[in-house]
Amino acid sequence: RVEADRPYSVHIGSGVYGLFMDAYRPLLDAADRIVIIADERVAELHLHYLMSFLSNWEIAVFTIPSGENAKSVETFMACHSFLLTEQCSRNSILLAFGGGATGDVVGFVASTFMRGISFVQLPTTILAHDSAVGGKTAINHELGKNMIGTFYQPASVLYDSSLLVTLPLCEVRSGMAEVIKHAFISNKGWLDEILAIKDFKQLTETDLTYHLEKGIAVKAAIVEEDEFEGSVRKYLNFGHTLAHAIEGYLGYGKVTHGEAVVVGMTYALLLSNHHKLDEFIQWSIANSYPFHLLKKLPFEELLPYMKKDKKSSKGVLNFILLEQTGQPFVEEIDEKRARSAYDKLILQIG
Ligand code: NAD
Ligand code: ZN
């Protein structure tokens, strides 16, 4: 259960959609229209399965482009047009079926349609353990990612782990980066368990459920303490200052978010003098995170992006570092130190 301005529960495991017939039946019974907005790839693979739990109700389905392409003004407007054509009202409910991109755009649609209607997150990626909890919604502007959005909590999150088996390996890699980030900022023992995974292909559904539950608990505890990112929520950005710069410089989609975050965490660990740096690099190489990219990324090109980061202000660089595992803090780093640490990083992994 996540205690936000509107508290909600997160259910994870195989077959949790069964709760629609059970605990969440009153929620659906009370809605005048139920609309699934689904990532088109996810719909192709798993809509049939989801619908098998919803046979009691009349459901309208709208598919949106798969992945990041959905986070556009066009898709946002197309969703609203669909809801209006379907004669949805303030008593309608949306089910967001897909990864973090779907959750972000559908959450934004839910928060703006007739000034806000209920929605349920049905995440289908590993990374979405992060995005489905915390209430941030967004679409992209051509001048910046996630620049248009709201804070808006779902009515509930139903996370069926059996759908993760179809995730491509690069998406597993992307999602596991946020999992290990949650471990770095919270729990040494759990971090060691993840560092022992040398091949993601061997992760079973039970393993994944275990790690996702722990990741969700860390994220939920932080957002409960700081829903609107005034204090501790910043710690979730561990590894993200450089990651956002890499994504911005290369262009979004050239590298997955989690892959960029692993490179960013390596840099933050180096700046922190963290004793797990070498072990983390070994783990990242074993799991094929793209360190080779660094050779194409001159510090001078990344610097302006790092200065634009939401955590930095007036051109000063702010990083989330670790005192030790589980003890994040914010540190201002001058350009000279940032540059020399970056050179060191390239030497170490280049
Ligand atoms: P995604 O939603 O872009 O999906 C990645 C790809 O995986 C897509 O091609 C999709 O079609 C496919 N896919 C999804 N589920 C699948 C499944 N079960 N089987 C096979 N293929 C599947 O990616 P993501 O990594 O889940 O989310 C990234 C987005 O999340 C970014 O836009 C990011 O900004 C956002 N995000 C938001 C928050 C937040 O707090 N709101 C936090 C982190 C990330
Ligand atoms: Zn992230």
Active site residue 344: no
Based on the domain organization, do 184 and 330 belong to the same domain? yes
Q: How far is the CA of 215 from the centre of ligand 1 (A)?
A: 16
CATH number of the domain where residue 67 is located = 3.40.50.1970
d(CA 199, CA 201): 5
Based on the domain organization, do 142 and 284 belong to the same domain? no
Based on the domain organization, do 161 and 174 belong to the same domain? no
Based on the domain organization, do 161 and 176 belong to the same domain? no
**Which amino acid type is present at position 91?**
N
Structure tokens at 338: 């940032």
pLDDT the model gives residue 312: 59
pLDDT the model gives residue 262: 97
pLDDT the model gives residue 310: 62
Based on the domain organization, do 175 and 51 belong to the same domain? no
Q: How far is the CA of 340 from the centre of ligand 2 (A)?
A: 25
Based on the domain organization, do 161 and 189 belong to the same domain? no
Based on the domain organization, do 149 and 190 belong to the same domain? no
Establish whether residue 171 lines the binding site of ligand 1, counting it when its CB lies within 6 angstroms of any ligand atom. Answer: yes
pLDDT along the chain (350 residues), means of 10: 87 96 97 98 98 98 97 98 98 98 98 98 97 95 92 97 96 98 97 97 95 97 89 94 93 90 97 97 96 90 87 77 96 95 90
Instruction: Look at the chain and report how many structural domains it folds into.
Output: 2
Based on the domain organization, do 289 and 341 belong to the same domain? yes
Based on the domain organization, do 210 and 180 belong to the same domain? yes
**Residue at which a domain ends, from 165, 180, 196:** 165
pLDDT the model gives residue 158: 98
Active site residue 41: no
**Residue at which a domain ends, from 114, 133, 165:** 165
Q: Calculate the alpha carbon distances from 193 to 29, 147, 187, 189, 283 in Å.
A: 43, 36, 10, 7, 12
Establish whether residue 39 lines the binding site of ligand 1, counting it when its CB lies within 6 angstroms of any ligand atom. Answer: yes
The contacts of residue 162 (CB under 8 Å, 6+ apart) are 14, 15, 205
**Which amino acid type is present at position 85?**
T
Active-site hit among 46, 234, 237, 274 = 237
Establish whether residue 111 lines the binding site of ligand 1, counting it when its CB lies within 6 angstroms of any ligand atom. Answer: no
Instruction: Name the nearest CA neighbour of 114 among 83, 159, 155, 70.
Output: 83
185 close to 236: Cβ distance less than 8 angstroms? yes
DSSP string covering 267-314: HHHHHTT-TTHHHHHHHHHHTT--GGGGGG--HHHHHHHHHHSTT--T
Q: Is 174 annotated as a binding residue?
A: no
The residue whose C-alpha atom lies closest to atom 39 belonging to ligand 1 is: 131
Active site residue 219: yes
Active site residue 240: yes
**Residue at which a domain ends, from 144, 165, 186:** 165
Based on the domain organization, do 99 and 180 belong to the same domain? no
Q: How far is the CA of 1 from the centre of ligand 2 (A)?
A: 22
Q: Which residue range forms the structural domain that includes residue 154?
A: 9-165
**Which amino acid type is present at position 266?**
T
pLDDT the model gives residue 294: 87
Describe the crossing of helices 335-349 and 257-271 by its angle, rounded to 10 degrees: 110
Q: Is 146 annotated as a binding residue?
A: no
pLDDT the model gives residue 227: 82
pLDDT the model gives residue 254: 87
Q: How far is the CA of 256 from the centre of ligand 1 (A)?
A: 10
Based on the domain organization, do 159 and 92 belong to the same domain? yes
Q: Pick left, alpha or beta for residue 56 (phi over 0 → left; psi -120 to 50 → alpha; otherwise beta).
A: alpha
15 domain residue, yes or no: yes
